[in-house]
Chains A and B, each alone.
Chain A
Amino acid sequence: MPYYRLKDLIKAIRACKTAADERAVIQKESAAIRTSFKEENNDARHSNVAKLLYIHMLGYPAHFGQIECLKLVASNRFADKRLGYLGIMLLLDENQEVLTLVTNSLKNDMNHSNMYIVGLALCTLGNISSPEMARDLCAEVEKLLGSSNTYIRKKAALCAMRIIRKVPDLQENFLNRAKNNLNDRNHGVLLTAITLIIEMCYKNPETVQTFRKTVPLLVRHLKTLVSAGFSQEHDVTGVTDPFLQVKILRLLRILGKGDAEASEAMNDILAQVATNTESSKNVGNSILYETVQTIMEIQSENTNAVQRHRNIILDCLRDGDISIRRRALELSFALINESNVRVLTRELLAFLEVADNEFKQGMTTKICLAADRFAPNKRWHIDTVLRVLKLAGNFVREEILSNFIRLVSQTTELNAYTAQKLYASLKSDISQESLTLAGVWVIGEYGDILIKGGNFEEEELVKEVTESDVIDLLESILAGPYANQVTREYVLTALMKLTSRFTSISSIQRIQAYIEKYNTSIEVEVQQRAVEYSNLFKFESIRPAVLERMPIPEVKEEVVRQTEDTGSLLDDIGPVTATTATPQNAKNDIMNLFSSGSLLDDIDPVTATTAAPLNAKNDIMNLFSPGPTTPTTAPVAPTQNAQQTNALDSLGLLGLGDQYVAYNKNGFKVSLNPSKDPNNSNILNIEVTFHNVGVGVTVQNLLFQAAVPKTQKLQMQPPSSTSILPGATAQQTIRVANPQKSNVRLRLRIVYSTPTGAKVDEIAEFNGFPQEIW
């Protein structure tokens, strides 16, 4: 039984419990509708088409209703026409030939006496017209665009927009009328006229010329909107007609681009909009978004004008929305000049502190470039680059670093100051690679000045730095968890230079002994340096001459290219993006282990992310040290460290400390053998031994993970073997950096499988180290 009313059909469909039920109901009804259509029942047609449209919305075929819609449109009844046009818009699109049959109805209805019917026709044409229909009905639309009825003018403007989209050549017909509509007081007409003009300008750049003269008019409109008081009709939560404001801003953007005069005319209003708009709600933000985009695109060579917006842009740096922050950042860099460089750099440095890592690389380059170009004095320049290194040293490009070193050597009067500052920063933080490299180089070059002390204006008392303090610092860098091959090379060279800068014999001997340790380093470059330097000690006469101060390099032109954001910078340095994935995953793995609210926190996330840029350089280094790839459990452990530690180990570190049993289950025992590192009292070496005492079968795929409290840092070497035969053992060395001398607690995860198919995945805690050990 067919459902006569739409409401009943909908009820019936919603009552169906299963999809099959629904299909059945709909099939039955479709058949009924088809039959009814064949009977040419005029009265029921409305209802049938309505039902058909509902069925179509649910996704079932409804093409047989297309002609019926045409018949509805041809009818005289308003309701029929309305539904008929809706049906056409839903069931047809410009690719269907049936659409051309509608053209005649459209033409007639556009001349209808009732404005709503005219509106219907314009709506249909505007939504789905094909190029042919556009051509046919262009004249009608043109006429309606000049109608005295605002309702019709609005719709005609948007319909014209569609026509131009489909047939760009027809643009000229609408130019004048569009321009006239700009003077209208009705917001709807104004809005649609601006939309039409925007489309014209997109399609045809010459039109932009024509409309540039309207900029003052648009500025006036915008001004009225911004400074008008509360308007009942157009208010949206406190903002007057945001829709119109956004459209005007968009058009101003198009007109102002590349034209100084137009840009000048709109600067004031842009500043006004940006400052007065409340950004607590989305409404305000949509306007601000458009404003910032406009400010960015208009003529910016005349930066004086844009300077007025500086404060707003700096505020935008702190906005909650990341797209706004990104755009504000780009704009800030463009704004820097001699007069505002200090203020802007201060803001940008503050932003660098909290910026996401993706921004940091681009930012460091641009800040240093700006500092290079606009620095008011050398001391400020050095301070700025120092601050950048401290905040984001791991994201600094090599060229920036070498520029900095060149700058330092050129500024001889500030050598003492720079050396002191770098020494102080290194004492507190050796995790930033570039900072370490710069600091080590400067300390090596100017170690004598550093020792001499002396003072510089204002500032606190110069701290007394002794030779052994400096050597201690360099040694701790070498032994620390952040040292990689490049760092080691730098430190060795710096130590060597210090032998001719320092005077006390004990220091020189200490340095000599330390360098000799690296004579057997696995890293070829490091070994070469160590051996050569050690040999140099035999040639006392020429040693001082060799290690003299470096000559000051000449001023070099700016070689650093201006690059876009992180994209191309990363291509330079290598596949960093790939390697960032793994350390992060490593971090997450360990994070997941200890999610059950434990006392022990996870590995400090900094170590995980700093590994990323470093790994890129190490890709080449890895050619020389093809050790076993470190398991993901050791985020900060490129293979070089493994070799270096073993070198130190061979000097007798494997002490006979006590064995502590951390885990003993199912015949698998894990014991820990701690010993203090002789070179660095903050570091505790732990030799982990895995005993396959009574498992009975081979232990395979051994995976050992560990975590330490947040104040400590952990470094893990690969195990000697991941397979342990019954009765055999395997070893793995881990090192814990414990600068705060707090209790060394470990949380361990032991994973292994056996040939019989058993899998073991256990977590254990160990807290039993005696106090003397750490």
Chain B
Amino acid sequence: MCNVLEHGEHKVIYKRYASLYFAAGIDCEENELYVLEVIHRYVQLLDEFFGNVCELDIIYNFDKAYYVLDELVLAGELQEPGKKSVIKHINAFENACQLDIVTRNVENSIV
């Protein structure tokens, strides 16, 4: 089956990974093959972030999946073409959040 489906004035690009389908909606002007690459990059990032990602990872950590997506795509366009850079920032933010929680707990306990 072709990866590009037409849907009215828009197109749906999808890629299948095992039992999951990753789909993106675009308008007619967009380069379909480019979007396929973006989808693949997203899946690679998930894989890197979760370590050998599987469907359950995404289900139980859907908010993290969204955070990864928000680091890759903004307003429908790719933000960062380099994989390492994205991973670095995601992990850094994760750590910052953890650190923040710990700091507050310490502060609260002191108080």
8 Å CB interface, B28-66 against A: 31-34, 36-38, 41, 59-60, 62-63, 66
Residues of A near B62 (CB, < 8 A) are 53-54, 57
Residues of A near B74 (CB, < 8 A) are 122-123, 126-127, 155, 158-159
Q: Are B100 and A188 interface neighbours, CB within 8 A?
A: no
**Least CB separation from A53: chain B residue:** B63
Residues of B near A151 (CB, < 8 A) are 89
- Min Cβ gap B82→A in Å is 5
Known A116-B92, A286-B31; judge A243-B37 contact (CB<8 A). Answer: yes
> How many Å lie between the Cα of A774 and that of B67 in the bound state?
77
> How does the 8 Å CB contact mask read for A604-623 relative to B, with 1 for contact and 0 for none?
00000000000000000000
Asked if A7 is at the interface (CB within 8 A of a chain B CB), the reply is: yes
8 Å CB interface, A120-152 against B: 122-123, 126-127, 151
- Min Cβ gap A12→B in Å is 12
Asked if A360 is at the interface (CB within 8 A of a chain B CB), the reply is: no
Asked if B75 is at the interface (CB within 8 A of a chain A CB), the reply is: yes
Q: Are A282 and B36 interface neighbours, CB within 8 A?
A: yes
> How many Å lie between the Cα of A708 and that of B22 in the bound state?
48
Asked if B9 is at the interface (CB within 8 A of a chain A CB), the reply is: no
Q: Are A250 and B31 interface neighbours, CB within 8 A?
A: yes
Known A10-B60, A162-B75; judge A234-B82 contact (CB<8 A). Answer: yes
- Min Cβ gap B67→A in Å is 7
Asked if A242 is at the interface (CB within 8 A of a chain B CB), the reply is: yes
Q: Are B79 and A77 interface neighbours, CB within 8 A?
A: no
Q: Are B75 and A236 interface neighbours, CB within 8 A?
A: no
Residues of B near A86 (CB, < 8 A) are 63, 66-67, 70
**Least CB separation from B38: chain A residue:** A243
Residues of A near B92 (CB, < 8 A) are 116
Total number of A residues with any Cβ neighbor in B under 8 Å: 50
Q: Are A246 and B34 interface neighbours, CB within 8 A?
A: yes
**Least CB separation from A122: chain B residue:** B74
Residues of A near B31 (CB, < 8 A) are 246, 250, 286, 289-290, 293
* Majority SS at the chain A contact face: helix
Asked if B16 is at the interface (CB within 8 A of a chain A CB), the reply is: no
The one of A14, A114, A192, A286 in contact with B34, judged by C-beta atoms closer than 8 angstroms, is A286
**How large, as a class, is the contact surface on chain B?**
20 to 34
Q: Max chain A CB contacts within 10 Å: which of B67, B81, B96?
A: B81
Residues of B near A246 (CB, < 8 A) are 31, 34
Asked if A283 is at the interface (CB within 8 A of a chain B CB), the reply is: yes
Residues of B near A83 (CB, < 8 A) are 63
Residues of B near A6 (CB, < 8 A) are 60
> How does the 8 Å CB contact mask read for A621-643 relative to B, with 1 for contact and 0 for none?
00000000000000000000000
Asked if B85 is at the interface (CB within 8 A of a chain A CB), the reply is: yes
> How many Å lie between the Cα of A549 and that of B101 in the bound state?
101
Q: Are B79 and A188 interface neighbours, CB within 8 A?
A: yes
Residues of A near B89 (CB, < 8 A) are 116, 151
Residues of B near A123 (CB, < 8 A) are 70, 74
Asked if A325 is at the interface (CB within 8 A of a chain B CB), the reply is: no
Asked if A82 is at the interface (CB within 8 A of a chain B CB), the reply is: yes
Residues of B near A53 (CB, < 8 A) are 62-63
Known A86-B67, A158-B74, A290-B34; judge A77-B100 contact (CB<8 A). Answer: yes
Q: Are B67 and A77 interface neighbours, CB within 8 A?
A: no
Known A86-B63, A188-B82; judge A78-B33 contact (CB<8 A). Answer: no
How many residue pairs at the A-B interface have CB separations less than 8 Å? 110
The one of A54, A122, A188 in contact with B81, judged by C-beta atoms closer than 8 angstroms, is A188
Residues of B near A244 (CB, < 8 A) are 81
8 Å CB interface, A135-193 against B: 151, 154-155, 158-159, 161-162, 165, 187-188, 191-192
Q: Are A195 and B77 interface neighbours, CB within 8 A?
A: yes
Asked if B78 is at the interface (CB within 8 A of a chain A CB), the reply is: yes
Q: Are B101 and A187 interface neighbours, CB within 8 A?
A: no
- Min Cβ gap A592→B in Å is 23
Residues of A near B63 (CB, < 8 A) are 50, 53, 83, 86
Residues of A near B75 (CB, < 8 A) are 126-127, 158-159, 161-162, 165
Residues of A near B80 (CB, < 8 A) are 154, 187-188, 191
8 Å CB interface, A234-292 against B: 234, 236, 241-244, 246, 250, 282-283, 285-286, 289-290
> How many Å lie between the Cα of A504 and that of B79 in the bound state?
85
Asked if A424 is at the interface (CB within 8 A of a chain B CB), the reply is: no
> How many Å lie between the Cα of A261 and that of B89 in the bound state?
42
Q: Are B67 and A82 interface neighbours, CB within 8 A?
A: yes
> How many Å lie between the Cα of A53 and that of B104 in the bound state?
25
- Min Cβ gap B14→A in Å is 14
**Least CB separation from A244: chain B residue:** B81
Q: Are A236 and B66 interface neighbours, CB within 8 A?
A: no
**Least CB separation from A188: chain B residue:** B80
- Min Cβ gap A75→B in Å is 10
Q: Are B34 and A243 interface neighbours, CB within 8 A?
A: yes
Residues of B near A241 (CB, < 8 A) are 81-82
Q: Are A282 and B33 interface neighbours, CB within 8 A?
A: yes
- Min Cβ gap A42→B in Å is 12
Residues of A near B36 (CB, < 8 A) are 282, 286
Asked if A233 is at the interface (CB within 8 A of a chain B CB), the reply is: yes
> How many Å lie between the Cα of A743 and that of B69 in the bound state?
68
Asked if A552 is at the interface (CB within 8 A of a chain B CB), the reply is: no
- Min Cβ gap B17→A in Å is 14
> How many Å lie between the Cα of A749 and that of B32 in the bound state?
47
**Least CB separation from B104: chain A residue:** A77
- Min Cβ gap A187→B in Å is 5
> How many Å lie between the Cα of A10 and that of B31 in the bound state?
37
Asked if A573 is at the interface (CB within 8 A of a chain B CB), the reply is: no
Q: Are A282 and B66 interface neighbours, CB within 8 A?
A: no
Residues of A near B78 (CB, < 8 A) are 191, 195, 243
**Least CB separation from B70: chain A residue:** A123
- Min Cβ gap B26→A in Å is 13
**Least CB separation from A10: chain B residue:** B60
**Least CB separation from A161: chain B residue:** B75
> How many Å lie between the Cα of A474 and that of B82 in the bound state?
71
Q: Max chain B CB contacts within 10 Å: which of A79, A127, A289, A293?
A: A79
Known A86-B63, A233-B84; judge A116-B34 contact (CB<8 A). Answer: no
> How does the 8 Å CB contact mask read for A47-80 relative to B, with 1 for contact and 0 for none?
0001001100100000000000000000001110
Q: Are A289 and B33 interface neighbours, CB within 8 A?
A: yes
Asked if B5 is at the interface (CB within 8 A of a chain A CB), the reply is: no
**Least CB separation from B77: chain A residue:** A195
Residues of B near A165 (CB, < 8 A) are 75
Which residues of B line the A interface, CB within 8 A? 31-34, 36-38, 41, 59-60, 62-63, 66-67, 70, 74-75, 77-85, 89, 92-93, 96-97, 100-101, 104
10 nearest CB pairs, A to B: A286-B33, A243-B81, A126-B75, A188-B80, A78-B100, A158-B74, A162-B75, A79-B97, A78-B97, A116-B93
Q: A191-B78, A192-B79, A242-B34 are known; give 16 further A-B pairs, CB within 8 A.
A: A54-B62, A78-B93, A79-B97, A79-B100, A82-B93, A188-B80, A191-B79, A192-B77, A241-B82, A242-B37, A243-B38, A282-B36, A285-B33, A289-B31, A289-B33, A290-B34
